[in-house]
Amino acid sequence: MRGPHNIWRLIRTGATFERTGAMHVVLDAFDTPAPLRMAARVLAWPFTFLGERGDPGLPPAVRALQVLGPAYIKFGQILSTRPDVVGEDMAQELRVLQDKLPPFSVEEAKRQVEAELGQPVDEVFSEFSDPVAAASIAQVHRARLRETGEEVAVKVLRPGIERAFRKDIDAFWFAAATIENLSPASRRLHPRDVIAHFEGVVMGELDLRLEAAAASEFAANTVSDSGFQLPRVNWGLSGRRVMVMSWAEGVPLGDNAGLDAAGHDRKALSERVLQLFLNHALRDGFFHADMHQGNLKVAANGDIIAYDFGIMGHIDEYTRRVYAEILFGFIRRDYKRVAEVHFEAGYVPADRDPDEFARALRAVGEPIFGMDATRISMGKLLAYLFEVTERFGMETRTELILLQRTMVVVEGVARSLDPRMNIWKVAQPVVEDYIKQSIGPRAAASDLWKTAMVMARFGPRLPKLVEAALIRQAQPVETVKPGRWRGRVLWGLLGLGVGAAATALVGALV
């Protein structure tokens, strides 16, 4: 229920941050301006007694996020990949939220597995370990199949996780609606659309059958990718609350000391993880959208292994081309073209000045080029980008939220491996290759062929579709001018002609 009762939940959130000491730590990490810092402390302080204490053995920010629940833990996981935003110390502290949360008992896990599979655990597995990783939504056990002896990972949802997420999301809905009502200027950011997007992602993550399907599709797309592996799904032992996959053996990507001891090249790994993400996003339009260190390992042969496919991103071909052109423009420092792409895609209102927007983009991009990556303040860069979007009335694009968020996470992962990595230089070959394949004469011919195929399929239905459209749009006969009727008839005949031509073309070529 998304009513005012959620005020209580939001008050307790602020109170918990204050009581655990996280409020001060977080405000410092984000270099919050003094007036906003004071307002946050003053508003939260009177309600401190309502806050949760959490585990006093944990650092303040981790303590607060963990006790507040899974949705807040998700937020902490993202921040853990951004030492350049929150600082190295806090990023390291938050990393425990990726896969080192308090587990539930192995007995409870076995009960869920038995309920899902319809047979005793001992009949399916000859070995079933205590939890080896516990995250916000599920935990993983290492097991061995009795029939084949294969070592597998068994993922089991946390008991009551659906209800816990629902409580948090309801509070977020209320907060988004309140923000929109109290601050009309915030509506361009579409807070409610953002929460709707987040809700859709989370609800999909709570059904492990969907995760298994995503893993299968991702594996088919990336089968030829060099230096990249995925575990195999065991469909016969997977269901809504349980999923079984082959065991992924390797060094966690967040363990720099372990990677060095194993002789892996961290610089090469940092470049590969970023290029893999860009390839999956641009080439396939289907990418792993939760690529933090807790979901990545490095195999003995140096391959990157990805797992946990609960959050996957999808972007259509047109959006991929727009995104690639924007990246390519930044790489070439062609800010005028970057501005034009934003206007062509409708990301910036048409009444704004393209030249002024290009200059604002130059102020964002120029500090990056020719500068040591360790000297770039990503926090300040993101803050300035937000100012630019506000000044030019850019609205939040919900279809790009997951892409943008994952880009931030992946860059953070890459820089944790090699702090001197330059994102633009590493991205350039991947983006250039995609541009060559998707923009130009060959791509135009491919687009025409696809259009012709669509028109051919709908050719027999075009007369009825045109007639139905004319009836819906038509005014009463006595009030419609003859010229307007002639125009509508001409457009209808043109549509029929195009459909017939497309049908003939496809028939001739097939």
- Domain boundary residue, one of 439, 461, 489: 439
Task: List 151's β-bridge partners, or say none.
Answer: 144
Asked if residue 83 and residue 47 are part of one domain, the reply reads: yes
Residues 331 and 191 placed together within one structural domain of the fold: no
DSSP string, 125-142: EEEEEEEEEE-SSEEEEE
**Same domain as 421, residue 483:** no
The verdict on residue 94 lying in a domain is yes
Residue 243 and residue 123 share a domain:
yes
Alpha carbon dihedral 394, 364, 385, 353, in 10-degree steps, equals -20
Q: Tally the domains of the chain.
A: 4
Residue 502's pLDDT is 34
| 428 in the same domain as 300 | yes
Of 498, 495, 497, 502, the residue nearest 457 (C-alpha): 502
Do 278 and 390 lie in one domain? The reply is yes
What is the model's pLDDT at position 395? Answer: 67
Per DSSP, 233 falls in state: B
CA 110 and chain centroid, separation: 31
Same domain, 156 and 218: yes
Q: Is residue 93 part of a domain?
A: yes
Looking up tokens 């919050």 gives 32
Domain that holds residue 22: 6-99
Sign of CA dihedral 189, 193, 197, 199: positive
Q: Is residue 488 part of a domain?
A: yes
Would you state the pLDDT for residue 372? 58
Residue 414, in any domain of the structure: yes
Q: Which of 290, 308, 418, 433 is catalytic?
A: 290
* The pLDDT of residue 8: 73
84 classed as catalytic: no
Do both 200 and 270 map to the same domain? no
| H or E element at residue 432 | helix 423-438
259 in any annotated domain: yes
Query: What pLDDT does 33 receive?
Result: 65
Low-confidence ranges of the chain (pLDDT < 50): 477-510
Q: Residues 45, 129: one domain?
A: no
Same domain, 405 and 278: yes
| 1 located within any domain | no
Complete DSSP assignment for 39-98: HHHHHHGGGGGGS----TTS-HHHHHHHHH-HHHHHHHHHHTT-HHHH-HHHHHHHTHHH
**499 plus 366 within the same structural domain:** no
Planar angle of CA 424, 427, 432, nearest 5 degrees = 110
Same domain, 255 and 345: yes
Q: What pLDDT was estimated at residue 243?
A: 96
